[in-house]
């Protein structure tokens, strides 16, 4: 009887393990799992911390681009990062007549490469403590390490910290940041 119970229990455990859904190896972002087999847009739309970014990507007409083959590295500002901009900035950028400016701001958060944090850290070290990161939008960000954290400084001197690194996507990687990076205007 005990042997039959063990066999039944073992069989049940094995069946449960086989039937269990596969969980993402990535960290959760905005309370949502991030799946390596989904693209940047497919994952970002599920993050409750990135609703402003997703709305901006849609308004800028960049959904197809960021759903494309890539590879892309996206430094993804949170809703709190957008909220920290001067009052009215986001509403102004989302207006159709400001689409070009919105595209410029957003593409200054995108690099045409799959750059995991270890690769960025190596470039920083190889360059003597600071590495120039050229973005799709033509901005040059300064990447540094500050007390073990990756930071990015935009062309205006604003500093963003990477709060969640290495969120793998099917077409690149996302690094969550705590400030919006702005081009020189």
pTM of the model: 0.84
**72-77 β-sheet, strand order:** 110-111, 72-77, 172-177, 159-169, 149-153, 140-146, 131-134
Residues 142-178 as b or e (16 or more Cβ within 10 Å = b)? bbbbeeeebbbbbbeeeebebbbbbbbbbbbbbbbbb
| Amino acid 19: pLDDT | 39
How far is 139 from 34, CA to CA, in rounded Å? 27
151-to-16, 35, 103, 120, 179 alpha-carbon distances in Å:
43, 25, 23, 10, 10
**Which residue reads 């847009």 in tokens?**
41
Instruction: Give CATH for domain 27-177.
Output: 2.30.180.10
User: Would you kindly state where each structural domain of the chain is located, as residue ranges?
Assistant: 27-177
Per run of 10 residues, the mean pLDDT along the chain (length 185 residues) is 41 39 67 89 94 95 94 97 95 95 96 95 95 96 93 96 95 96 88
């Amino acid at each position: 009887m005990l042997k039959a119970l063990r066999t039944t229990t073992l069989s049940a455990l094995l069946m449960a393990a086989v039937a269990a859904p596969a969980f993402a190896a990535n960290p959760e972002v905005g309370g949502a799992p991030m799946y390596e087999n989904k693209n940047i847009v497919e994952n970002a739309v599920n993050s409750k911390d990135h609703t402003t970014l997703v709305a901006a990507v849609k308004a800028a007409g960049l959904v197809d681009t960021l759903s494309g083959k890539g590879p892309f590295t996206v430094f993804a500002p949170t809703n709190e990062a957008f909220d920290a901009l001067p009052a009215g900035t986001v509403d102004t950028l989302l207006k159709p007549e400001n689409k070009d400016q919105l595209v410029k701001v957003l593409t200054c958060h995108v690099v045409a490469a799959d750059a995991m944090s270890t690769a960025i850290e190596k470039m920083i070290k190889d360059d003597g403590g600071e590495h120039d990161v050229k973005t799709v939008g033509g901005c040059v960000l300064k990447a540094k390490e500050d007390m073990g954290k990756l930071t990015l400084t935009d062309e205006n001197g604003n500093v963003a910290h990477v709060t969640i690194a290495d969120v793998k996507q099917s077409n690149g990687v996302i690094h969550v940041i705590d400030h919006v990076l702005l081009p020189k205007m």
